[in-house]
């Protein structure tokens, strides 16, 4: 039967019913992203002493802990929280400039992303994005594929970051899929392969850099999303 493989015991068949996609580095990217050094230099020029490492730490905390709790809907509210973590109160002009800078460098889809998601959906698979990243950051980028997605799981929807298996389990529950019926496609060895494999999912590692990466846990290692979706049919 199509889309099936033998289970561990060799006596039953497990049907692949869903394809889950990572966002950053898999479906989308930011060209020339705004760096912590760039923001720090600007803040120093405005009289605010915030080092790159301080900024990086506060940003990471907000991304992994505060956003899953509170679900910020814009760069303004997101960065206001970062400054709150830093105990720095900036003026409106400074905040407006930073927001404008961040909004000027948005996420955009990789050239192979739309074709891959559409192909998966049109072949009968349920599809979802699984990411910690705040939805407002990539909302516009995924508009071309949004109608081909059954669900978009972010840190706020899951109430945790992606390294917590709860995010995967909640996504599967929403889709009505068992772990062994789902394939995860992503570019992180631990978060997109090792972690989903631990809870019984299948996983394909996306290696866009084509560097020599060994990942024995992965069901396949591919260089683009079209290859990844093609592999799904064999799992």
**What's the token pair of residue 28?**
């989308």
Q: Is the predicted pLDDT of residue 13 greater than 70, yes or no?
A: no
Query: How many angstroms separate the Cα of 138 from the Cα of each of 4, 60, 81?
Result: 33, 17, 19
**Within this chain, do residues 157 and 215 fall inside the same structural domain, yes or no?**
yes
Which residues sit opposite 20 in a β-bridge? 128, 184
Same domain? For 142 and 197 the reply is yes
Alpha-carbon gap, residue 129 to 134, rounded angstroms: 12
pLDDT value at position 132? 98
CATH code of the domain in which 224 resides? 3.40.50.1000
- Same domain (yes/no): 22, 57: no
Q: Are residues 60 and 98 in the same domain?
A: yes
> Tens of pLDDT along 180-229?
999 999 999 999 999 999 999 999 999 998 777 778 899 999 999 999 99
The reply to whether 73 and 122 lie within a common domain is no
Q: pTM of this prediction?
A: 0.92
**pLDDT given for residue 7 in this prediction:** 38
Last residue of a domain, one of 103, 123, 139: 103
Which band of pLDDT confidence, cut at 50, 70 and 90, is reported for residue 40? very high
Based on C-alpha coordinates, what's the Rg of the chain? 19
Number of domains in the chain: 2
Residue where a domain stops, chosen among 86, 103, 120: 103
pLDDT, one tens digit per residue, over 114-146 is 999 999 999 999 999 999 999 999 999 999 999
Q: What percent of the chain has pLDDT over 90?
A: 89
The range of the structural domain enclosing residue 78 comes to: 36-103
Compute how many other C-beta atoms are within 10 angstroms of the C-beta atom of residue 19.
Answer: 26
Residue (of 120, 116, 117, 235) closest to 180 by Cα position: 235
Nearest-5° Cα angle at 28, 25 to 34: 80
């Amino acid at each position: 039967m199509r889309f099936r493989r033998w289970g561990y015991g060799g006596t039953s068949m497990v049907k692949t019913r869903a394809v889950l996609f990572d966002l950053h580095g898999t479906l989308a990217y930011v060209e020339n992203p705004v760096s912590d050094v760039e923001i720090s230099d600007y803040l120093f020029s405005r009289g605010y002493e915030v080092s790159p490492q301080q900024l990086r730490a506060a940003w990471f905390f907000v991304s992994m802990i505060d956003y899953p709790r509170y679900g910020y809907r814009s760069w303004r509210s997101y960065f206001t929280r970062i400054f709150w973590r830093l105990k720095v109160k900036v003026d409106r002009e400074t905040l407006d400039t930073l927001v404008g800078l961040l909004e000027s460098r948005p996420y955009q889809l990789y050239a192979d992303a739309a074709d891959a998601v559409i192909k998966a959906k049109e072949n009968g698979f349920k599809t979802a994005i699984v990411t910690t990243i705040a939805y407002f950051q990539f909302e516009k980028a995924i508009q071309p594929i949004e109608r081909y997605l059954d669900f978009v799981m972010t840190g706020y929807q899951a109430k945790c970051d992606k390294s917590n298996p709860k995010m995967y389990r909640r996504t599967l529950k929403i889709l009505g899929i068992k772990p062994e019926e789902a394939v995860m496609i992503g570019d992180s060895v631990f978060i997109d392969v090792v972690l989903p494999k631990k809870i019984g999912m299948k996983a394909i590692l996306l290696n866009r850099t084509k560097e020599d990466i060994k990942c024995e846990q992965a069901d396949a290692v591919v260089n683009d999303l079209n290859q990844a979706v093609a592999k799904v049919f064999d799992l």
